[in-house]
Structure 1
Amino acid sequence: MKPSVDDPSGSVCRADAAGGSPVRLAVRGLVKNYPGVRALDGVDFHLAAGEVRALLGKNGAGKSTLVKILSGALRADAGRIELDGQVVQPAGPAEARAAGIATVHQELSLVPELTVAENLLLGRWREAGTRGPLISPAAMAAYAQRHLGVLGVAIDPKAKVGALSVAQQQMVEIARALSYGGKVLILDEPTSSLATAEVAALLELVRRLAADGLSVVYVSHRMDEIPRVADSVTVLRDGQHVATRPISEANTAQIVDMMTGGAIHSHRPRTTAAAGRTVLSVSGLSTADKVRDVTFELREGEVVGIAGLLGSGRTELLRCLSGLTTPASGSMRLDGQPFRPRNPRQAIRAGVGLAPEDRKREGLALGMSVSANLVMASLPAVRSRGLLSAGRERRTATASCTRLSVKTPSLRTAVGTLSGGNQQKVVLGKLLNAGTRVLLLDEPTRGVDVEAKDQIYQLIRDLAATGAAVLMVSSELEELFEVCDRLLVLRDGHVVAQPKVADTALPSVMALAMGGQQ
């Protein structure tokens, strides 16, 4: 189909007759204010029936606020939303769903101990508008089977959701959203936890749903997905609509430029000196399941990326090195001495620290302050006569925020209120304050906007330039090529190659990771 495009004046124009797709969703002049911040500043865009619109922008651009308004979680201060030409003002998510706007958030809202059918009909276990008996389990299962069948997925309606894979849970969430009879589906970072093959299946599903007339707003930080799934892109920056273009007229470089205002400069030259002495050596390392006979060395000033598909043993390898998992066999040596940490505390004391993939659950204490999080792994350094020194804590935290460009209203601000990029910087700052020399980074830019990614890349290279050794896992191969000197390619727990980045190419690495030919 031919995507709709906003005209330069910001007014909304209908898709032309040749496209054959009337406007499904129109957003006109949306404004949302918070104390001291205008999150949305007169945002306009429209979406045609059967169109997939990528909604892009760095953290703080207004994407989340716009999604929350469309989904009924927030009320706009000004402007209006029209669905099929009718004004809708949802006072809550239930009203938004009833009007035809369904949202699948990045953090899934399923109940693990309930079945697929029970989750799909959550809150609707009685016949609509009645106080009669609960819908029978058989009827619930049949209902779930019918809606899962629309997506073309085979999931047992009687299975507990907690026993499903993340990809299957995502499908259940989408089936539940569509079961309300939605006309617009909003997908917020739907592939952030999916493997490559699962991503491809989801993108194919989105295209199929759009072909059947569903309109989709697709929010993602993964730039490689956008041309594969979207008809058009809308870019927000600082709460304002920057541009809406057909995907055929917006390549990655142009999109990034619109998102950042030209602030990002990719493919920076290497700034580190040649790798120095070996800091960490691993020989024949294996776990009970995921890691199999892994051998490699990591040197001072070197950034080594771990490439591989989800399930290849990437995270499990880092967990072994950080003391979270006990190896079944093999050996590790740190600075030439035997290294076998029994827990993360021992590893950090030895100079090895992990920034985990799930920073909110494993890397931060969300309810505690930025300052407290920055020093929690280095408490001896901020004590005075056995007691915590508020002055030392403040000086340490201030220095970290300056060094890492952490944007926070105050050191006393709860870290859970910061953006994803700033939270990740706090995780890194915590490790650096503990004197970490070997940094283990598991998906360090997941859920982070393009500007924060650029800052984290530069930070990693700067740390390597000072002699730190970095081992980094990322599901985005382009990211590894951007920041790493060398790669470990994992497949089924084995290291199948250790190429230098300068001597290889992305297709070759992908082929190795997938078991294909170079």
Structure 2
Amino acid sequence: MVASVDDPAEAVSRAGAARGAPVRLAVRGLVKNYPGVRALDEVDFDLAAGEVRALLGKNGAGKSTLVKILSGALRPDAGRVELDGRAVQLAGPAEARAAGIATVHQELSLVPELTVAENLLLGRWREAGARGPFINSAAMAAYAERHLATLGVAIDPKAKVGALSVAQQQMVEIARALSYGGKVLILDEPTSSLPAVEVAALLDLVRRLATDGLSVVYVSHRMDEIPQVADSVTVLRDGRHVATRPISEANTARIVDMMTGGAIHAHRPRTTASGGRTVLSVAGLSTADRVRDVSFELREGEVVGIAGLLGSGRTELLRCLSGLTAPTAGSIRLDGRPFTPRGPRQAIRAGVGLAPEDRKGEGLALGMSVSANLVMSCLPAVRSRGLLSGRRERRLATGSCTRLSVKTPSLSTAVGTLSGGNQQKVVLGKLLNAGTRVLLLDEPTRGVDVEAKDQIYQLIRDLAAAGTSVLMVSSELEELFEVCDRLLVLRDGQVVAQPKVADTAVPSVMALAMGGQQ
């Protein structure tokens, strides 16, 4: 059942209203457009004084855009923000903090080589008695100690931030945000980098701050945290406000239903490669960034989708397999032999190629021609007597453009001038020209139009039918159900399930990725 969009009259928070608390933060009709995408579409959002509101939604639902607008990092195209009943102009982060809205982003913004006190007062050292070029270290330390004490944490204000644990750095960031005298605290994925033992302390802190009257917007993908910390839940989908519910009415199954629209994708019938030979075997693989004890096999002609939320380790896994990062533990075998590429060039020579998420920054040489990009991975094939052969290059590039339906004025056109879909086809063509047998695709249809998406889907199917093995990351679960035989569901860097696409559904995979129970 598809969740209906709530009436805007439901703007007053149910949880807050139940306690008789006034509305602290109000958003009215927020709209934000990007080229070809409406990131926020007439969003209404209210938060009561002393309320903790969980803000949820799939990747791309509009959460980050809403947070950026509330923190002053983005200007909306329409709508307004009100604080305590008065409209506020958030022209930048400084204005947002001055108005009473403080934000702690997922990526902390502390300076490792400065002390805790210096970070806490960064940009405003004169508030602690600085005169001219000289700072008052004692006054700064006392200021920092006082604000840290309000959080119930004991951290040496003279310690360098780089020497602190991630949890301690998180507390310094929160103390700095609250030192501005904020009324609203926005926490964007605050536990994504914390070890499990530290999560409970942070959740307890959030509850204590709310009890003292602070209003909190809590953005998280971890469903097990939400009942412990939130009074209510707001769900965004495709840039729209779907619903706001008290936490007592928002179990995992209902939230997932609202996030996905209740859609159960009609599976594409396809003969899987489950009986084919194993091409890639991964056992106990770990990296320094997120991947933890991952094991799986990829068979010849199989398309395996990697599902998971942002920060789950999807991209990091592909980058390790492509030689961009080195594993810290575990093993990789290609065709039964050890495979430890020391870089992408070596991986490509072995038949493993990555189409990166950032195709412009990492996948293409934008100023070079279409043909040059298509052959740069297989230069020996277009050489003649040690020199590049223009005839061979044109022949190979022409064949690639025909095969992949690349629309370009000419082979000499700079690839940076093509549409996103055609650029992506060039990235794929470059890998295929190198003889790639294991294709690693990271968000292969991001930023491409519908027609190009369908063409890329068909290309993946055709490649698999011809024996190419594919590992594909996508933030759109429906897309994985469109082209994949099987899924690896990642959460916190670990594989939590490996269902066949024919045996599962979008809401079930979403629940697994979020860590909740259906």
Please say whether Structure 1 and Structure 2 have the same fold, judged by a TM-score greater than 0.5: yes
- TM normalised by structure 1 equals 0.65
Give the deviation of 1:177 after TM superposition: 1.1
Paired residues of 2:103 and 2:185 also in contact (CA < 8 A):
yes
Paired residues of 1:298 and 1:304 also in contact (CA < 8 A):
yes
Q: Superposition pairs for residues 385-424 of structure 1, below 5 Å?
A: 385-386=388-389, 412=416
Residues in 1 aligned to 2:303 and 2:186: alpha-carbon distance in whole angstroms: 37
Paired residues of 2:129 and 2:135 also in contact (CA < 8 A):
no
Give the deviation of 1:185 after TM superposition: 1.0
1:247 alignment partner in structure 2? 247
Residues in 2 aligned to 1:142 and 1:398: alpha-carbon distance in whole angstroms: 69
Give the deviation of 1:123 after TM superposition: 0.3
2:116 alignment partner in structure 1? 116
User: Are the structure 2 counterparts of residues 433 and 51 from structure 1 closer, same or farther at C-alpha, using a change threshold of 3 Å?
Assistant: farther
Give unpaired runs (5+ residues) of structure 2: 308-312, 407-413, 475-479, 501-518
State yes or no: 1:379 paired with 2:376. yes
1:145 alignment partner in structure 2? 145
Q: Superposition pairs for residues 200-349 of structure 1, below 5 Å?
A: 200-263=200-263, 265=265, 272-280=272-280, 299-300=299-300, 322-323=322-323, 333-337=333-337, 339-349=339-349
Residues in 1 aligned to 2:96 and 2:48: alpha-carbon distance in whole angstroms: 18
Paired residues of 2:24 and 2:49 also in contact (CA < 8 A):
yes
Give the deviation of 1:148 after TM superposition: 3.2
Aligned Cα RMSD in Å?
6.1
User: Are the structure 2 counterparts of residues 211 and 293 from structure 1 closer, same or farther at C-alpha, using a change threshold of 3 Å?
Assistant: closer
Give the deviation of 1:180 after TM superposition: 1.0
Residues in 1 aligned to 2:286 and 2:78: alpha-carbon distance in whole angstroms: 59
SS of the equivalent of 1:218 reads strand
- Partner amino acid, structure 2, of 1:118: E
User: Are the structure 2 counterparts of residues 434 and 459 from structure 1 closer, same or farther at C-alpha, using a change threshold of 3 Å?
Assistant: farther
User: Are the structure 2 counterparts of residues 146 and 252 from structure 1 closer, same or farther at C-alpha, using a change threshold of 3 Å?
Assistant: same
1:95 alignment partner in structure 2? 95
Residues in 1 aligned to 2:378 and 2:338: alpha-carbon distance in whole angstroms: 26
2:20 alignment partner in structure 1? 20
Alignment: residue pair count: 473
- Partner amino acid, structure 2, of 1:8: D
2:9 alignment partner in structure 1? 10
1:67 alignment partner in structure 2? 67
- Partner amino acid, structure 2, of 1:176: R
Give the deviation of 1:94 after TM superposition: 1.1
- Partner amino acid, structure 2, of 1:278: T
Paired residues of 2:285 and 2:293 also in contact (CA < 8 A):
yes
- Identity of counterpart residues, as a percentage? 73
Paired residues of 1:271 and 1:465 also in contact (CA < 8 A):
no
User: Are the structure 2 counterparts of residues 68 and 498 from structure 1 closer, same or farther at C-alpha, using a change threshold of 3 Å?
Assistant: closer
1:127 alignment partner in structure 2? 127
Paired residues of 1:365 and 1:373 also in contact (CA < 8 A):
no
Residues in 1 aligned to 2:198 and 2:374: alpha-carbon distance in whole angstroms: 36
Residues in 1 aligned to 2:342 and 2:366: alpha-carbon distance in whole angstroms: 29
- TM normalised by structure 2 equals 0.65
Give the deviation of 1:144 after TM superposition: 2.6
State yes or no: 1:365 paired with 2:362. yes
Give the deviation of 1:102 after TM superposition: 0.6
User: Are the structure 2 counterparts of residues 43 and 332 from structure 1 closer, same or farther at C-alpha, using a change threshold of 3 Å?
Assistant: closer
Paired residues of 1:106 and 1:190 also in contact (CA < 8 A):
yes
SS of the equivalent of 1:43 reads strand
- Partner amino acid, structure 2, of 1:365: E
State yes or no: 1:30 paired with 2:27. no
Paired residues of 1:10 and 1:44 also in contact (CA < 8 A):
no
Residues in 2 aligned to 1:400 and 1:194: alpha-carbon distance in whole angstroms: 44
User: Are the structure 2 counterparts of residues 423 and 122 from structure 1 closer, same or farther at C-alpha, using a change threshold of 3 Å?
Assistant: farther
Q: Deviations over 1:84-142 (max 9, x none)?
A: 22332232211211111011223332223323322221101112798656442233233
- Partner amino acid, structure 1, of 2:106: Q
State yes or no: 1:136 paired with 2:136. yes
- Partner amino acid, structure 1, of 2:103: T
Give the deviation of 1:181 after TM superposition: 1.5
User: Are the structure 2 counterparts of residues 95 and 263 from structure 1 closer, same or farther at C-alpha, using a change threshold of 3 Å?
Assistant: same
- Partner amino acid, structure 2, of 1:350: A
1:82 alignment partner in structure 2? 82
Residues in 1 aligned to 2:487 and 2:171: alpha-carbon distance in whole angstroms: 36
Give unpaired runs (5+ residues) of structure 1: 1-5, 308-312, 403-409, 475-479, 503-518
Paired residues of 1:40 and 1:66 also in contact (CA < 8 A):
yes
1:107 alignment partner in structure 2? 107
- Partner amino acid, structure 1, of 2:110: L
State yes or no: 1:45 paired with 2:57. no
Paired residues of 1:374 and 1:429 also in contact (CA < 8 A):
no
SS of the equivalent of 1:10 reads helix
SS of the equivalent of 1:126 reads helix
Q: Deviations over 1:241-278 (max 9, x none)?
A: 33222233234444344344444549999962324223
User: Are the structure 2 counterparts of residues 75 and 277 from structure 1 closer, same or farther at C-alpha, using a change threshold of 3 Å?
Assistant: closer
